[in-house]
A and B are shown apart, each in its own frame.
Chain A
Amino acid sequence: MQYERPGTLQDASRLLVETQGTAFILAGGTDLLVRSKSDDFEADLVVDIKSVDGLEDVRETAAGFTIGAAVSCAELGAHAELKAAWPGVVEAANLIGSAQIQSRCTIAGNLCNASPAADSVPALVAAGARAVVTGPDGTRTIPVEDVPVAPGETSLGKAEIIAAIELDKRPPRSGDAYLRFIPRTEMDIAVVGAGVNLTLDEAGTVKSARVALGAVAPTVVLVDEAADAIVGTKLEDAALEKLAELCSAACRPIDDKRGTVDFRKKVAGVLARRAARIAYDRAGGA
């Protein structure tokens, strides 16, 4: 195996284009290096992107936030402005692993690992986040939900790198939240995750919303019909009930030791309802 630590995206992309063998991008390594220990893992090249210029920080622009792909989740948690604007995204990112894992793990890595249970992904999808993808043919910006296509698989080309995750500037009266269910209180894989992001009008009525679920289908699910069910409401009980029902209906989960199909469906509704409530409170709704 060859290890490279390029200083520019162009060099990183070139290394990936030129290699004949199997290549991997290394961000925090908390997925990749775990995988690398299994017997069937083979890599000819590992391209560490943590020294690539421009990937190491969170920039606040007029349009919103640009989170470099090498920024650790611990650093996201320490970014006061980002946390104030997107508390749901940051709390989801900060749920990943332990203090040790937080020091290394990235949201781009969480997304590209393409686990159905990735914690930051439903929050990012609910937030309408975009991935800035750089490759040999230039740069394209795509919705984050277009990155994972199946468990462990992404839509990225061989030499494509996510350079950053973009989040919009927040309109007034906006809030987001992410909740997951795990059998323990820490250090476990989500059985269900739910992210809700919404904006209220001046009267406290939901003006727009996005709802996304994790761990209940092969990839993250954006539940438009559930979001529609709370738009135009003040999250009265009937609206929350409808939201929960539509979320449960949108699930296509598996049975495993962590939870049955029925349990996952039920919990998806419950978590979506609770997350919507938290997002609403954060948006200043009464």
Chain B
Amino acid sequence: MSGIAVSTTINGDEVEYLCQAEETLLDVLRDRLGLTGAKEGCGTGDCGACSVILDGRLVCSCLVLGAEAQGARVETIEGMAQGDTLHPLQTKFLEHAALQCGVCTPGFLMAAKALLDANPDPTEEEIRFGLAGNLCRCTGYDKIVRAVQDAAREMNGG
């Protein structure tokens, strides 16, 4: 198959793939690499279900071309847990029942991780603004905000 040859790093592993110019990073992750954690909710940057971290910054993978990942570092939900040990955000999402159908959850977790990486002790308002690019049709958001607050508390040692 012809295509653009891309070498990138995904969750710490070097990965090479071929993709077409019009394919998004989301298409590549899901359809070529079998990393189906990132979801397509809208495909237009509105819902955040496809969120991944690209070179340290949260992005919508539906608005990044697969070819743009050349030489980049990509972090996806699949890299969040360390083996069987869940990330504190994942644990708190479970404890607080911050998900129902779960379609939005990988995106929220990546967005929350990016938020806490940049701001380890956010206010409730900062959390709500930080997660404004992620939509959830099920939870009403409150449980998600509580889970992120609790995870931040735990990660800050208290």
Contacts and interface: CB of A to CB of B under 8 A. Distances in A.
Most chain A beta carbons < 10 A, residue from B43, B58, B70, B134: B58
A74 B68 CA distance: 18
Interface in A65-94: 72, 74
A3 B4 contact: yes
Interface in A180-204: 186-187
B51 interface: yes
A98 interface: yes
B46 A103 contact: no
Given A33-B64, A34-B45, A99-B133, 11 more contacts: A3-B65, A29-B64, A36-B22, A97-B45, A99-B115, A99-B131, A99-B132, A101-B60, A103-B54, A103-B58, A104-B63
Task: Name B's interface SS.
Answer: mixed
A103 B74 CA distance: 14
A29 B64 CA distance: 7
A186 B131 CA distance: 10
Interface of A: 1-3, 5, 26, 29-30, 33-34, 36-37, 46, 48, 50, 72, 74, 97-101, 103-104, 186-187
9 contacts: A1-B20, A5-B70, A33-B64, A37-B44, A100-B63, A101-B133, A103-B57, A104-B60, A187-B46
A100 B44 contact: no
A98 B64 contact: no
Interface size class of chain B, counting residues whose CB lies under 8 Å from the partner chain: 20 to 34
B114 A99 contact: yes
A79 to B, nearest CB: 15
Interface of B: 4, 20-22, 24, 43-46, 48, 51, 54, 57-60, 62-65, 67-68, 70, 111, 114-115, 129-134
A1 B4 CA distance: 11
A46 B45 contact: no
Most chain A CB within 10 A, of B22, B48, B63, B130, is at B63
Given A3-B4, A3-B21, A103-B58, A34 B44 contact: yes
A187 to B, nearest CB: 5
A34 B65 CA distance: 11
A103 B59 CA distance: 6
A1 B21 contact: yes
A192 B60 CA distance: 27
Contacts of B44: 34, 37
Contacts of B54: 103
Contact of A104 (B20, B24, B64): B64
Given A5-B67, A34-B44, A186 B129 contact: yes
Nearest to A78: B118
Nearest to A41: B22
Given A1-B22, A100-B51, A103-B58, A187 B132 contact: yes
B43 A37 contact: yes
Contacts of B45: 30, 33-34, 97-98, 100-101
Given A48-B68, A99-B130, A187-B133, A33 B63 contact: yes
B57 A74 contact: yes
A103 B61 CA distance: 12
B4 A186 contact: no
A192 B22 CA distance: 34
A2 B4 CA distance: 9
Contacts of B64: 29, 33, 104
A46 B21 contact: yes
